[in-house]
Amino acid sequence: MAANAFPVVSGTFQPTNWPANAAGNTPCSGGNPVYTEPDPDVFTAPAPAGPYGSTLSIFNGDDPNGTWSLYAVTDCLGSGPGTLTNWSITFTTSPTAARITSFSAAPAKHGVTARWRTASEVDVLGFNLYRATATGPLRKVNRALLAARGGATGASYRVVDRSARKGVRYTYRLQAVELDGTRTWYGSARVRATP
């Protein structure tokens, strides 16, 4: 939470880790400052193991549907258990401009052919095709942005990756670039280039 005081008051907070003896650290209940707080904080089961992020962007791209759990830990020495009631989380989603209906990659005579189909491409500038080996980073296949041409009705695309090495297994990913610069990942396809 974003507050470092006692008692905790109602409000809107984000994940925060207050380090031990931070400048301006407000004392815990009874005026006892924190001197032995572990850093990073240690959550007991059933909380998942750390490390823990301090921004909610780590959830970007995750499905918001399902069961969510909130875990909190107190840093105050000698403080007992507390109660956290009436908590909620709000998800804000925005539709992406591209709607991809299919994405695939297959071995070809001279490398690997990637194909995708869009149902709509409103406000999409173009696409980038990336590939990676099992142990390597993602690398862009196309030199220049592949211009979007489908508009509201969508289009079919085909790119041949002639630099794919024979016999190597690759994972291909598609990235849409919107007019405002937003980049969104779509799909994943695994293929072994023709030996």
Please write the tens of the pLDDT for every residue from 7-26.
Answer: 566 666 666 666 555 444 44
Domain extents in the chain? 1-93, 98-192
pLDDT (mean) for 28-56: 62
The pLDDT score that the predictor gives to residue 2 is: 43
Q: pLDDT tens digit string along 118-169? A: 998 988 999 999 999 988 888 999 999 999 998 888 999 999 999 999 889 9
Q: Are 140 and 181 in contact (CB under 8 A)?
A: no
Q: pLDDT tens digit string along 49-95? A: 666 666 665 665 566 677 777 777 765 555 556 666 777 777 665 55
DSSP state of 109: T
The CATH architecture of the domain made up of 98-192 is: Sandwich (2.60)
The residue among 111 and 1 whose pLDDT is bigger is: 111
Q: Are 49 and 62 in contact (CB under 8 A)?
A: no
Residue appearing with tokens 């507050």: 3
Cα separation, 36 vs 74, in Å, equals 12
Residue appearing with tokens 């401009």: 97
Of 174, 173, 177, 175, nearest to 123 by C-alpha is 177
